[in-house]
Amino acid sequence: MRLRRLVRAAFAAVCIMTATAVGLTAPATAAPTDAAFDSATGALNVDRAAYLSKHDLVYNRPTTNPLHGLTVGNGRTGAMAWQANGLTMQVSGVDTSQQTAFGAGLLNLSTTPALESGYSTYQQRLSLYDGTLTTKYDANRTVTVMGVPNSEVMGVHVEDSRSGVSAVNLDLSLWDTSQLGNSGDVPNLDTWKTVSTYADSTGAGLSRGQSDPQNFGYTLAATVEGAAYNARVVDGRTVRLSITPSPSYTIWFTASSRLNAPSHDSVTEAKRALASAKSRGYSATLNDFRSWWHDFWGKSFVQYSGLSGDADYLENVYYLSTYMIAAGGYGTNPFHFINGVFRATRDQTKWSNAYWFWNQRDIYNSFLASNHVDLLAGFNRLYSRNSAALKSYTRTRYNVDGLWVPETMGWDGNARGTVNSDFTNNIWSTGTEAAYNMYLQYAYTNDSAYLRNTAYPFMRDVVKFYAAKLSYDSASGKYYVASSHAHETYWNVPNAITDLAAVRTLFPLTIRASESLGLDAELRPQWQRIVDNLIAYPSTADVYLPHTPPLAQTRNGENVAAEIIWPYDRTGIGYPDQQKAVNTFNARPFPYGNVWANDAVQAARLGLGDQAYQGMKTMLRKYQTYPNGMTDNTNGVFEYLGVHLAALNESLLQSYNDKIRVFPAAPSDSSFVGRFTLLAKGGFTVSSEREAGEVKYVGIKSLYGNATRVVNPWGSQQLRVRDVSSGTTVLTTSAAEFDLPTSAGKVYVVERTAKPLSSYSSVRLTGSANEGEKTLGGTTSTLGMARTPNPMVNNTQLTYDSNWHATSGRGYGDYNDDTHHSTTLNAVAQYTFTGTGVAYLSERNGDMGTVDVYLDNVFQATVDLRVSGARQVQQTVWQRTGLTQGTHTIRIVNRSTSVGMVDALRITP
């Protein structure tokens, strides 16, 4: 999670904070009178097809910008789609290359006359519930992208009833592989520069990486159902299917990986997989695909709405983020936090060529609560399957019989990115995070075989590493850490709080698992001695510190001391040190400092509902810069979406400390409406609703018959617990917390004695399909595209070459408080728009230079951005009106080594 520039800020000075954690407010007297709990199923009663349709992403005009393309995937293969000579998509597969570093290629569907010609209405819709991407041009052209569920095959179905269509072509292509860089940390880059092709009666395809010694590589191939076609090789990196025009046909395409193919033969597998899809047929496969996504969405539900629509926007991002990660989250390898399966940047990836645990945890850790533990299991397998290699390396590097996990790790467990980096080479705590995730997989699924065979052995070996590496002070009788990294921010420091939290998290769980499994009894006394005699966390009277003072030089922008709140789960609501944890959070040195910042999750864990809500908004304002929900941030792509999922889940339900607590961090605004069905630790499906500040009930379905502890959501009001199947009351109490024994499969309702669930009328939750663009108040963040574009185009929406740099939080008064700038001669920025005019906005200042402006490739003017005196912001430095209504492109070229800048554009429709 290395920053482009080292952060040099010192840890903030701390004042005693007067704020306290936010608890649930007193119930309002005028709450709505309905409830959506279905006692028979133990979940909310939701018309999911209608409800999720209100969160569909809709483009009511074509996007020609690949970075704004809409995303569609099937669990292992994904594509970003935009309009360029028809439908163009960049295809990626999660297992096609190491760390998904290389794109699979481009797919282009073009017709004569063009699909995008001669229409009056246009709409492209990503249907989250069905998982499909559908583009409609008037009533006579519909293109639907879908797939074979959880496979490497996808399809493009075309309904085109126009008369006079004379040609249809489907091209698969690659970029100039001679320019390929080793962003994937591949053993032999030459095999990835070598492309082979085929074209025969089965279809056409191109392959690369076929000699990769680690068995990566793939074949991108296609065939056609429902129309005749001819296949041919166009050139060394392009193949074409020339399709006989037909009113209805389906193109099946695949990015078949060598890794998953029998005998690692991706060409044979591609042909087999395409033939299978073609045999199954479009209609049946579409039904399979929809059913797969419907089952996925049926696992859980959240509603987070109100606050003048802003909370609804956060809810929309929740469902969109879930879709994007799940659409590529079921591969043999994890969904990479930068590369994923959705990008439109050719083979270019960002800075990472490995899996960085800090960033990957952001992607995956929310899926426990949302009842998709299988997604977290895929992340866990990356570490469990490499445990032998990691143990061997631990013996070599540390001479310890235990398990050390590198913070930066390749798909095969290699530690090159960690040991060769000053930022990461002495981080110990990653092993605990990996082991803890495995334990949580057990705790949420009750899979005792997984605990015995996978999770516990990994936990034990990480504990053995710490037991060997901790130092012992015989004078004080305390164990301590002599020197390690407090993550990436403080190097080679004593008593890193992350290591002390790691010990306090993992050792007791491992001791408990050892006892329950009847294993390693001889090791427990030493482990317990360490737990009982571990040095206290470094702290002042008011806050926790990242390590024992004096504080070391700051090397990165992490809020290390707040890690004990999340993900280490050592403090939170109701803990004796809650106020100290709140103080630590409020004094954190880098609030929302990067795309991977997990501040909002920690706010929720502390009961700071308003801060969690504002934190989610802040992250979207800073990082959600594209209308497809994605970002232009150079330090990552998907992390902030994963953090958003965890923050919203933790605002609605917490169970990390074996207590069920509903709405622990709800916004205080009385307009907030929250509903959910989520999974709690221990195997409990929990449902609840809150309106006008009032929690109506808590529904609990016990999956495995475990006992749990429930926090009374009404404080000291009397409640009762009712067994739904028998109708009997099993418990009545006014306690703040109570223990609840359960039986597997039974549903229990926790309700106020004075206002039981039966006093509410029954309702089914539904919604209406979204038809347009959505905006988040006080930000430039949007989802979707309106028919007429917003006249203001933020600088983040332009396309830049590699010589431009984004800056945010400038505080000068720029539009959206951010800019792009360059000091490189001939650096280019450009934007394609539809309208009759354009204005170019920039700062002007004494350190700035000149830029040339081009419109539709015609030089317009040289603009001088220099000015004496005070800095000027949001200045219209060039504009043009009276253009012919249509599509135009503005290009801005830096003409000096002084600062050239773009703040925004203003488009005249």
Q: Give residue 20's pLDDT band: very low, low, confident or very high (50, 70, 90).
A: very low
As a whole number of angstroms, the distance between CA 30 and CA 35 comes to: 14
pLDDT reading at 808 higher than 90: no
Q: Is 445 helix (H, G, I), strand (E, B) or coil?
A: helix
Are 62 and 119 in contact by the 8 Å Cβ rule? The answer is: no
Statement: residue 9 has pLDDT above 70: no
Residue 835, pLDDT score:
82
Using the CB atoms, write b or e for 893-909: b if 16+ within 10 Å. bbbbebbbbbbbbbbbe
Alpha helices in 771-835 (DSSP H): none
Percent of the chain scored above 90 by pLDDT? 91
Count of C-beta atoms within a 10 Å radius of residue 442:
21
Distance CA 795, CA 7 (A): 24
Q: Which residues pair with 891 in a beta bridge?
A: 830, 854
N- to C-terminal Cα separation, the chain? 41
Helices (H), 310-364: 310-326, 357-364
Does 886 have pLDDT greater than 90?
no
Lowest mean pLDDT among 481-490, 580-589, 835-844: 835-844
How confident is the model at residue 5, as a pLDDT? 32
Predicted confidence at residue 891, as pLDDT, reads: 97
Say what the pTM is. 0.87
The pLDDT score that the predictor gives to residue 487 is: 97
pLDDT of residue 2: 39
Q: Please, are residues 246 and 227 in contact by the beta-carbon 8 Å criterion? A: yes
Name the pairing type of β-strands 828-835 and 886-894: antiparallel
How far lies 114's CA from each of 86, 141, 171, 313, 342, in Å?
6, 11, 15, 35, 26
User: Is there a contact between 325 and 359 (Cβ–Cβ < 8 Å)?
Assistant: no
CB of 501 closer than 8 Å to CB of 568: yes
CA–CA gap between residue 776 and residue 621 (Å, rounded): 8
Can you tell me whether residue 889 is helix, strand or coil? Answer: strand
In whole angstroms, give the CA distance from residue 210 to residue 192.
8
Min mean pLDDT across 16-25, 332-341, 372-381, 698-707 is at 16-25
Range from 104-113, 284-293, 827-836 carrying the lowest mean pLDDT: 827-836
pLDDT value for 6: 31
pLDDT of 23 strictly over 50: no
Q: Which amino acid is at 801?
A: D
Cα separation, 133 vs 63, whole angstroms: 14
Calculate ∠ Cα 704-707-713, nearest 5°.
Answer: 115
Element (H, E) at 482: none
**pLDDT recorded at residue 22:** 32
For the chain, what percentages of helix, strand and coil (3-state, to nearest 5) are there? Answer: 25, 30, 45
pLDDT digits (tens, 9 = 90+) for 525-562: 999 999 999 999 999 999 999 999 999 999 999 999 99
Three-state secondary structure readout of 658-698 = CEEEECCCCCCCCCCEEEEEEEECCCEEEEEEEECCEEEEE
What confidence tens digit (pLDDT) does each residue in 598-630 have? 999 999 999 999 999 999 999 999 999 999 999
425: helix, coil or strand? coil
- Rounded percentage of the chain residues whose pLDDT exceeds 70: 97
Q: Is there a contact between 81 and 653 (Cβ–Cβ < 8 Å)?
A: no
- Res 11: pLDDT: 35
DSSP category for residue 14: -
For 116, residues 6+ apart whose C-beta sits below 8 A from its C-beta are: 62, 83, 86, 122, 137
Single-letter code of the amino acid located at 872: Q
Instruction: Give residue-wise pLDDT tens across range 135-179.
Output: 999 999 999 999 999 999 999 999 999 999 999 999 999 999 998
Confidence bin at 31 (pLDDT 50/70/90):
low
Spatial CA neighbour of 343 closest among 720, 82, 28: 82
Give Cβ neighbours of residue 506 (< 8 Å, ≥ 6 apart): 432, 435, 436, 439, 459, 462, 463, 466
